[in-house]
Structure 1
Amino acid sequence: MTALLLSLHVLAAILTVGPVAITASMFPRAARQALAAPDQTNTAAVRLLHRVTRVYAVVGVAVPVLGYATGASLGVLSDAWLITSMVLTAAAAAVLIVLVLPGQRRVVAALDALPPAVAADSVEQGAARRLAMHAGIFNLLWAVVVVLMIYRPGSTTGAGL
């Protein structure tokens, strides 16, 4: 059962966190382009990136749920590396929920504003830059979690960098 849980956890992480990380990273550039030239193609790209980020973020809840079940199955829930991973996962979720998704929503709302010339004025210049920074923080947190999952400090079965 542990092998199945671990397999599902890794599969869920790859299939859900990966798309969120990519779309969150692509969104700021697409937002800058759409705000500079709010045509139908640029606006559609921004809407699509926001939708993918939002949908995969919701589905991504499976990752910590399966991770917790796997940790319980392995008997490592009290290990420092796993507790640190859980805290960093919660921090990444907070960055996504509190900073990335609302920032994307504001850009989409600005692009939906009529007339299009108003859209660029309604979202301040630094919005896309901040979104890029928030996406970078989100991705960095997940990168550290991945390293902890592979390295597992103190584990006798860890890869031991």
Structure 2
Amino acid sequence: MTKFLLAVHVLAAIVAVGPVTVAASMFPPSARRLLAEPGNAQAVSTVRLLHRICRVYATVGVVVPVFGFATASNMGVLGDAWLIVSIALTTLAALVLIALVLPRQAAIAEGVWDAGGSEIAVAQNVSRKTTVQLAMFTGIFNLLWATVTVLMIVRPGSTTGA
């Protein structure tokens, strides 16, 4: 049963967290492109698609810690320091995504509208500073997930010899 839970946990992390990490990283440059070319319909579509990917896969990503807890419980490692640190970093990554990344993406994606005909308008409150902050928060989110991944692979005290 442990191998099954671990396999689902790892697959869920790859399938759910991977797309969020990539799409979130692609969002700030796409938003800057949109700000530089407000009438670019493809830039609008890209920004909206990347935000949707982040939002949907972040929701699906809830299964990662669920199966992680089940796996850790089955392995008897719930009290191990590396796991506690991983849980704390995962929680922090989720908070960064929910509180700092997704709302800024939404503000940018929703700040774009059709001003009539094929003309696209961008809200006045969407600035380059907003995209720079978003890039910073996205980088923090990605760094947290990379750290969790390394902890999951290295697992201090592991018997795998790694």
TM-score range, shorter chain: over 0.9
Match of 2:134 in 1: 131
Q: Residues 16 and 60 of structure 1 are in contact (CA less than 8 Å); yes or no, is this contact kept in structure 2?
A: yes
- Long gaps (5+) in structure 1: none
Match of 1:22 in 2: 22
Match of 1:68 in 2: 69
| Secondary structure in 2 matching 1:112 | strand
Query: Would the alpha carbon gap of residues 122 and 113 (structure 1) be closer, same or farther in structure 2, given more than 3 Å must change?
Result: farther
**Which residue identity does 2:138 align to in structure 1?**
A
**Which residue identity does 1:139 align to in structure 2?**
N
- Long gaps (5+) in structure 2: none
Aligned residues: 159
Percent of paired sites with the same residue: 57
CA distance in 2 between counterparts of 1:103 and 1:113 reads 20
Q: Residues 35 and 120 of structure 1 are in contact (CA less than 8 Å); yes or no, is this contact kept in structure 2?
A: no
**Which residue identity does 1:66 align to in structure 2?**
F
Match of 2:106 in 1: 105
Structure-2-length-normalised TM-score: 0.93
Q: Residues 76 and 82 of structure 1 are in contact (CA less than 8 Å); yes or no, is this contact kept in structure 2?
A: yes
Residue 143 of structure 2 is aligned to residue 140 of structure 1: yes
| Secondary structure in 1 matching 2:78 | coil
Post-superposition shift, 1:122? 2.2
Post-superposition shift, 1:155? 2.5
**Which residue identity does 1:150 align to in structure 2?**
I
| Secondary structure in 2 matching 1:126 | helix
Post-superposition shift, 1:36? 1.6
Structure richer in strand, relative to its length:
2
Deviations 1:32-79 (A, max 9, x none): 111221221110000000000000000000101000000000000000
